[in-house]
Structure 1
Amino acid sequence: MSRPLLSLLLLCTIVSADPVPLFDGNSLEGWEGDAKVWRVQDGAIVGGSMEGNARNEFLATRKPYKNFVLRLEYKLTGTEGFVNGGVQFHSKRAEKQEHEMIGYQADIGGGYSGCLNNELRKPQFLGVADKKLVNSIEKPGEWNRYEIRVEGPHIQLSINGTKTSEYTEKDPAVPLEGLIGLQIHGDCKAVISFRKIEIETLPDTPK
């Protein structure tokens, strides 16, 4: 086999890599967080309590990721307070408050579903979704599909197959690699669930 053909085959293999599950449906293997907040129920990762959540809590992967397409299903239910959660990426644990995370967040609930949040950084909101659009595609209290696509500095969020926000990072100091995390917001009585979590790794150099 010629060297150019071999290189082309290797490139195609990288580009078309099959998605890999980040959750086995039975345990929190590969994740770390407060076991009093996060658990596995009925094949889903569940966080928070209807009795109340005093502060933000995150369940994070032990492994960092760079370029990828992350797909998952989420369900958020709540009765009081700021009923909200999210999916962190290119993030890290805060040094002084280990229960917090710093980095990008695909927001869920509280009127911010589909928005790109900049958790513990400024400016806070980087990609604001059209609320009318989100209201027409999201099913509150039911399972919804999130897709987070990250290629270099470019980020695109979609809910149930519809793009909700898009952003290109221009600050070279912002890291383009980090942990993935699942959030339940504080100051609310709410439970958030995640299932069918899978990641498709993309080449380090975007096309």
Structure 2
Amino acid sequence: MKRHARITLLLFFGLWIGSPEGWAQTTESGFVPLLNGSSLEGWEGDPTYWRIENGTLVGEVTPTTLLKTNTFLIWQQQQPADFELKGIFRITKDGNSGINYRSERVPEVPYALKGYQADIDGQNKYTGQNYEERGRTTLAYRGQQTRIQPFTQGNVRELVKNNAWTMLTVEKSLGEAEALQSRIKTEDWNEFHLIVKGNRLQHFINGVLMSDVTDLDTVNGKKAGLLGVQVHVGPPMKVEYRNLRLKTL
């Protein structure tokens, strides 16, 4: 193929190759970008912790800005119900972050969210699992396909043990924990893909299904809500996100 023809095809498909660490931005049917690459327009959060740097969304906690509560950068344009969300992330080894969806604000805490979270951490202990922030806690560990049982009555906190929800059934293994962990790169760029449709919530990392939840709890579960990205209480950390894009279903 001639050189000018190759260039035309690259432009047509929207492929762009960036910095030495490598990432690609593609134009996909139905997906809408959530970042403009130059500002936090469309998002709300504490600028102490969030910024755009070289086209990348950066969340950073420094020794002088340590957190007392988790804080989020919250997307303001829509509260998606059924959707696919894609992007790439990189996080420092001591970092802790996550992508919240179908979430709601916590009125008494600025920039805090309560709801489903695709967990991300720098040591890859939790990356890919489904954790409900300020709610039922762990709904599926990495490697689990779970079914959340209907909730009728009781104290939610009493139904949490060892930071995991007890009213669930593990229906299937998605793979050995160590094998799945080996598919996630440490302190390097990883792709994520969330597929959220009806009461089924699937988290993929680098094309591998890491957790799969069917939530039959209509009391505590949510059908729509806010999107946000998190920096977590703990030591200094840095998380980076690129090419965030959303497709409503």
- TM-score, structure 2 as length reference: 0.70
In the TM superposition, residue 175 of structure 1 has moved relative to its aligned partner by 1.8
Aligned residue for 2:140? Answer: 127
* Counterpart code for 2:225: G
Deviations 1:135-166 (A, max 9, x none): 21111111100101000110000000000000
In the TM superposition, residue 187 of structure 1 has moved relative to its aligned partner by 1.4
Deviations 1:37-63 (A, max 9, x none): 100011111012343532311001112
* Counterpart code for 2:210: T
Which residue of the other structure, out of 33, 56, 73, is the alignment partner of 2:70?
Answer: 56
Aligned residue for 1:26? Answer: 38
Matched-pair contact (CA < 8 Å) for 1:65–1:90 = yes
Distance (whole Å) between structure 2 residues aligned to residue 133 and residue 169 of structure 1:
26
* Counterpart code for 1:164: M
Secondary structure (helix, strand or coil) at the match of 2:178 reads helix
Aligned residue for 1:77? Answer: 92
In the TM superposition, residue 17 of structure 1 has moved relative to its aligned partner by 5.3
Whether 1:194 and 2:241 are equivalent positions in the alignment is yes
Q: RMSD over aligned Cα, in angstroms?
A: 1.5
Q: Which runs of 4+ in 1 moved over 6 A?
A: none
Distance (whole Å) between structure 2 residues aligned to residue 195 and residue 71 of structure 1:
9
Matches within 5 A, 1:153-164: 153-164=199-210
* Counterpart code for 2:42: G
Identity fraction in percent: 32
Task: Give the strand-richer structure, 1 or 2.
Answer: 1
Distance (whole Å) between structure 1 residues aligned to residue 62 and residue 108 of structure 2:
28
Aligned residue for 1:165? Answer: 211
Which residue of the other structure, out of 127, 145, 156, is the alignment partner of 2:191?
Answer: 145
Which residue of the other structure, out of 228, 233, 242, is the alignment partner of 1:181?
Answer: 228
In the TM superposition, residue 108 of structure 1 has moved relative to its aligned partner by 0.3
**Structure 1: which 5+ runs fail to align?**
1-15, 203-207
Deviations 1:46-85 (A, max 9, x none): 0123435323110011121110000011110145xxx210
**Rg (Cα) greater in structure:** 2
Secondary structure (helix, strand or coil) at the match of 1:132 reads helix
Question: Does the C-alpha gap of structure 1 residues 134 and 53 become closer, same or farther in structure 2, counting only changes over 3 Å?
Answer: farther
Aligned residue for 1:35? Answer: 47
* Counterpart code for 1:41: E
Distance (whole Å) between structure 2 residues aligned to residue 30 and residue 159 of structure 1:
26
Secondary structure (helix, strand or coil) at the match of 2:229 reads strand
Q: How many positions carry a matched residue from both structures?
A: 183
In the TM superposition, residue 133 of structure 1 has moved relative to its aligned partner by 3.0
Aligned residue for 1:10? Answer: none
**Structure 2: which 5+ runs fail to align?**
1-27, 144-176
Matched-pair contact (CA < 8 Å) for 2:74–2:111 = no
